[in-house]
A and B are shown apart, each in its own frame.
Chain A
Amino acid sequence: MRQGEGMITVERLTRKYGSFTAVDDISFVCQPGRVTGFLGPNGAGKTTTMRVMVGLTPPTSGQVTIGGHHYHDIPNPGRHVGVLLDASAQHAGRTGREILELGARTMGLPASRVDEMLELVSLTPTEAKRRLRNYSLGMKQRLGIAHALLGDPSVLILDEPANGLDPAGIRWMRGLLKGYAERGGTVLLSSHLLHEVEQIADEMILIGHGRIVAQGDKKSLLAGAASGAASFVTALDNEALTKALEAKGIGVSAAGEGLRVETETVEIGRTALESGIVLTDLRAADGGLEDLFLELTSQTQREAVAS
């Protein structure tokens, strides 16, 4: 399968550890101007894939190119690709400012860039003077994002950047990355939590047990799972509605005040109209994507066990 070429191109990538396959023949692309969410449960192979991208882990087979280059061949790579793989992987005895200072010096950037980045991620001068061992996880993530953005790169690779951020921090990051992509940047960010990704990502890659189980934008992913569509409905006469729906062969179960119905909202509305039943609440079941996510990733789990 050959997809449209993007800024980050993963081609038939496989990484094995002994007989265990952490990443199993995966291919995908990340387009410039878009945020690509890399979603999968713990141990799915997200980190391994991202580590291969930046040359920290050699692939068993396949390759990754960024803008047509292998990472190793990009001169002064921090100026082109911003990387945050593990916010804690820094010397615990260095101050936040010193960590950025070292990065800026390695990349040959002026010292003013350090202050700009500290300001961007809202680390105060006092916080920047503290040593990393005294940082909360959220502060480490902010520092890591500042480090990734230091060289003003056009590609960002972020592994679980929302981990440890408070809700305000997550919203801030969402705005930051959206703006970054709107200016033409390419963003790949991973997460094991759907809700962290679904609002930021234009494009989603779902991975489970080393394999890509689905990819596309939110709409097309949901469309692909249309058979699993469900709705919540409450009527003045729930019993009558249940009968009417069951008469059409549609699954109904009790859910709190109302009912959970295994069909789309339009079908429920039509049934209610036909039977003259008054509805007080009708909506598509939230977490349709969540169900899909769980279903797809657990499915590969069963496959992996069976094989």
Chain B
Amino acid sequence: MNTAATRELMDYDEVVERFDPVLGLEVHVELNTRTKMFCGCSTKFGAEPNTQVCPTCLGLPGSLPVVNRMAVESVIRIGLALSCSIAPWCRFARKNYFYPDMPKNFQISQYDEPIAVHGWLDVTLDDGSTVRIEIERAHMEEDTGKSLHVGGTTGRIHGADYSLLDYNRAGVPLIEIVTKPIVGTGARAPIVARAYVTALRDLLRALGVSDVRMDQGSLRCDTNVSLMPRGVVTFGTRTETKNVNSLRSVERAVRFEMTRQAGVLAAGEKVIQETRHFDESSGSTSPGRRKETAEDYRYFPEPDLPPIAPSPEWVEQLRATLPELPWQRRQRIQREWSLSGEELRDLVNAGALDLVAATVEAGAPSGEARSWWVSYLAQQANARGVPLDELPITPAQLARVIELVASGELSNTLARQVVDGVLAGEGSPDDVVAARGLAVVSDDSALIAAVDSALAAQPDVAEKIRGGKIAAAGAIVGAVMKATRGQADAKRVRELVLERCTS
């Protein structure tokens, strides 16, 4: 271990007082095309190892690549959604390096002629402020296979006893989206990084081009971080952290590197330009294997593939297929639901926007839908320690509950019991209503009997009501509700109480 690696971390407040961080984010997105980038093999995740392979994605002698047109369409759509320019002519290039999970020992990628360049993504932070992240480029490439290193302690190649290789992933279409250096974010750098990846994920999901599952590796982020002392304008030496496999890790990895690099710099040492590895459990980064010489990928134009020249007509056709993008949708929802900026932000931050929208889609009024998701259901999710969207209730089921309340068949109290039943796995709202016998008592004769007996039980109150003190009716209503175990419609009970006292 070198000394720099074991240097003490600097306190974060001090870091941001003394240094300006510069970020660069490289996001790899596996497209959800049915077939691979350069062959007809399936891209389905989780198949038996080495069952989705052919001569081309195994790089067998004599095999040749053929470009997947769907993948090109996807990257053009991504580029357009990121406000990039689409290159009128671009090429693939070979990136040459030896690694056992790469069947040809070169990766077909794009180098100095990427398909999409110079765009941006506006990212809204939790506090409502917006940061524009400039996009350098988006390009196409093929994924590598997967190595499983067996033995050793780290799960990495060094120190392993042997390695197993699965080439199912080899050749899966991958889009790399690279930001320009992100400067001026100061103490917010880690949350900006996280917010960017989140926004990008939402965008890709809206485009329908990827599963964007960080846990399955269909969205992967490498975080580049460097520090420059406040007031200095030349960038410091950066490190690139790999294996950042969740949104939370993006934030933690950036934050850790800031504190680590600041510690190194404060000790008068130099940050080493290197690839680092993020460790989820400790939240720290550690150096990858140091190479004696800088990696030289010997890029050159891929001779097996002709250039790609998307015609303006094709690009415009693809632009026409862009769905409503997340920020456009948010603006529309804010307008349609008459939300304040703060209310919208709360919804977004609670992860409830899509759920509310889906509930509204299923027929519920936005006010009720919003109130259910951000209050009662948010509490339930919290209590169970799961994200809101993992609660076992669908927007459609909630919409049905809201409908039953609106039609008077359920009271609010009963509605919660129905929701509890759904969450407990007792079936649909109607199943729960039936099984638990939760329908509001709407038979007036039964209610009248209950009202009469409540009035009889509290003659003084009854007298007051008869004397015109309508406010006193509440006590009787409460007694009736209690007697009917909440199954009565409180509004109807109140009407009956007043009716009985005036007749």
Partners in one complex: no
**Residues of B bordering A, CB below 8 Å:** none
